[in-house]
Chains A and B, each alone.
Chain A
Amino acid sequence: MKRLNELSVLEVLEGLKNKKFTSSEVTKACLNKIRETDTKINAFVTVTEELALKQALDADSKIAKDGSKAFDKHKLLGVPYACKDNFCTKGVLTTASSNVIKNFIPPYESTVTQKLIDAGVVLLGKTNMDAFAHGSSTETSDFFTTKNPKDLSRVAGGSSGGSAAAVADNMCSFAIGSETAGSIRIPASWCGVVGLKPTYGRVSRYGVIAMASSTDSPGPITKTVDDAALVLEIISGKDDMDATSSSNKVLDYLNLPVDKTLPKIGIAKSYFVQGMEEGVKDAVLGAIGKLSDSGFKTSDINLMDPKYSIAVYTIIQRSEVSSNLARFDGIRYGFDRSEFGQEAKKRIMLGTYALSAGYYDQYYLKAQKVRTLIIQDFKRAFESCDVIAAPVVPSVALKIGASKDSAMFGELTDQLNEPSALAGLCAITIPCGISNGLPVGIQFMAKQFNEDKLISVAKSLEKLLKD
């Protein structure tokens, strides 16, 4: 029988509705787990124990008073979660894992965390990340590296490493992360959990400490696809505070109508890059094979070589980073700019150069033109399929220290996620196998606002892999 901290979101909700246990009990189980193992894993920057217990008690009172009706208004009532530390949580320390703002207490709530509060969640704490989200391993956190729960000598991936590790180690029922290009998919894949990167604009960025404003996408990291679907519904929607947020209808992603025809799956051959680990390739192709055997039509599709996306993403992201991090002046909040870590300084420098007089056309403008080609490339691909299947990353979780002193570690690791991120598409990763004892994730990508197709295919695969 599962322990309370091992339950999925839906299992917690079912248990609470049927009075099998209380939110306080689930919350305490999670807090105990954090106490037990987080000294080894380092998923959390801040654990909000007092707040969590108070919120759990409030949830239990609501349930005692209104019974299962309480869940109509508050769809995640009493469910304990962990939040990446780049979401402004009012009154709760928010650091982006950076020494520059290690003392920052936000005076306002991000839209995502406000929506979760309104849904009745319990906040367990804020999770570790690459500082300012600059990385793919959570090694550039100014505080500490988050270890992979499956192998403590390896990284959890990044930049949402803390959130992914917390879910994988059952320290919470679900977590919130964010992705600029790979920062949900990679840690989810390396830790063996589900990660969903919504369409750009599906989820509001208000109150999320910005990295690259033209690709940043907050999203859920969960134990199951159903959990990701429910959390996605809660956090999505138009927000007046985010001019890029979409008024596209938010679907009931958990209860989607059954597809009359199965979505067609395109296999991105160019994403099986040279040097990819055989075990990763086998696991991903094996999963696609299972889908094909169960009736899904699959076909090979051609996509642009990921090498161009690496260059485009490096220029655009670092340029936008240099602009976004200009606000950290140590005057209105935070410490002096000398507190930036090496990775942040490196990215600010490249971005400043790419945007400076005489170089803007050569770098930023050129990158935005190639971005157009990447978007057109996907448009063409989606004429012959509904979702695109691919590996998430060419290897399983790397050993701690692999990223040291690399000029472009983050961008190179993210290569299979950058094209879809630049095009603002949605994507999901679910665990599909093991290689050398470590989790392998498969990703599915779809056109903007086609999260329903992703969820449908991912759910089917999840079921096939269980059976």
Chain B
Amino acid sequence: MLSKEQVLQISKLAKLSLSDAEAEKFRSLLGETIDYVKVLEELDLSQVLPTLQVTSITNAQVSDEPKKSLTKKEVLTNAPNKDESYVKTKAVLNKVSDL
């Protein structure tokens, strides 16, 4: 069973803010799921390589040529905060000394 601190740490990594009630609920639900997947420990995986993708494709590339793309206006259609050319977001750096 995960601890409350672990649940809060995971929520921080996932950028989800949880209420105390949610954190407790997820603690129980996640615990149940983690217990369930322990079934994989029954299998001998010592000689097994992982499968990362199921196609036999490797090095899929496209040629590096300029093509018609979206206009600035189209890109900015859905941004909640924007000006003519930019998506606006919260400040990342607060002071010149942050640079």
Contact = CB atoms under 8 A, between A and B. Distances in A.
Contact of B55 (A107, A367, A424): A424
A375 B55 CA distance: 12
Contact of A370 (B29, B45, B75, B77): B45
Given A240-B62, A372-B49, A200 B37 contact: no
A407 B32 contact: yes
Given A330-B80, A349-B26, A373-B45, 12 more contacts: A105-B78, A108-B70, A310-B36, A311-B37, A315-B37, A335-B80, A337-B17, A345-B26, A352-B14, A353-B2, A367-B37, A408-B32
Contacts of B75: 107
Interface string B67-88: 0001000110111110000010
B1 interface: no
Given A307-B39, A348-B16, A363-B37, A369 B55 contact: no
A107 B70 contact: yes
Contacts of B94: none
Task: Pick the 4 closest A-B CB pairs, nearest first.
Answer: A424-B54, A368-B50, A333-B78, A243-B60
Given A370-B40, A372-B51, A348 B70 contact: no
Interface in A141-185: none
A375 B51 contact: yes
Contacts of B2: 353
Contacts of A255: none
A338 B17 contact: yes
Given A107-B74, A246-B55, A373-B48, A367 B40 contact: yes
Interface string A93-110: 000000000011101100
B83 to A, nearest CB: 14
A201 B55 contact: yes
B22 to A, nearest CB: 7
Interface of A: 103-105, 107-108, 200-201, 214, 240, 243-244, 246, 307-308, 310-312, 314-315, 322, 326, 329-335, 337-338, 340, 345-346, 348-350, 352-353, 356, 363, 365-373, 375, 407-408, 422-424, 448
The DSSP consensus for interface residues of chain B is loop
A307 B36 CA distance: 9
Contacts of A337: 15-17
Query: What's the interface size class on B, roughly?
Result: 35 or more
A345 B60 CA distance: 33
Contacts of B33: 314, 350, 407-408
Given A311-B39, A348-B14, A244 B22 contact: no
Interface of B: 2, 6-7, 10-11, 13-18, 22, 26, 28-30, 32-34, 36-37, 39-40, 43, 45, 48-55, 57, 60, 62, 70, 74-75, 77-81, 87, 89
A104 B30 contact: no
A427 B79 CA distance: 39
**Which of B14, B30, B36, B57 gathers the greatest number of chain A CB atoms within 10 Å?**
B14
Contacts of B70: 107-108
22 contacts: A201-B57, A214-B53, A243-B57, A246-B57, A308-B39, A312-B40, A331-B79, A331-B81, A332-B78, A333-B79, A338-B16, A345-B16, A345-B26, A349-B16, A349-B26, A350-B33, A353-B10, A353-B34, A356-B13, A407-B33, A424-B55, A448-B54
A139 to B, nearest CB: 16
B39 to A, nearest CB: 5
Contacts of A423: 54
Most chain A CB within 10 A, of B33, B39, B77, B87, is at B33
A366 B36 CA distance: 14
A244 B81 CA distance: 34
Contacts of A448: 54
Contacts of B52: 214, 368
A331 B89 contact: yes
Contacts of A356: 10, 13
A108 B45 CA distance: 44
A40 B96 CA distance: 59
A266 B96 CA distance: 69
A349 B14 contact: yes
A423 B54 CA distance: 6
Contacts of A346: 26, 29-30
A214 B87 contact: no
A340 B14 CA distance: 12
B79 to A, nearest CB: 6
A29 B81 CA distance: 42
> Among B26, B52, B54, B60, which residue has the most Cβ atoms of chain A within 10 A?
B54
Residue from A311, A329, A365 having most chain B Cβ neighbours under 10 A: A311
Contacts of B13: 352, 356
A371 B39 CA distance: 14
Contacts of B55: 200-201, 244, 246, 424
Nearest to A240: B62
A107 B16 contact: no
A103 B80 CA distance: 10
Contact of A334 (B11, B16, B17, B78): B78
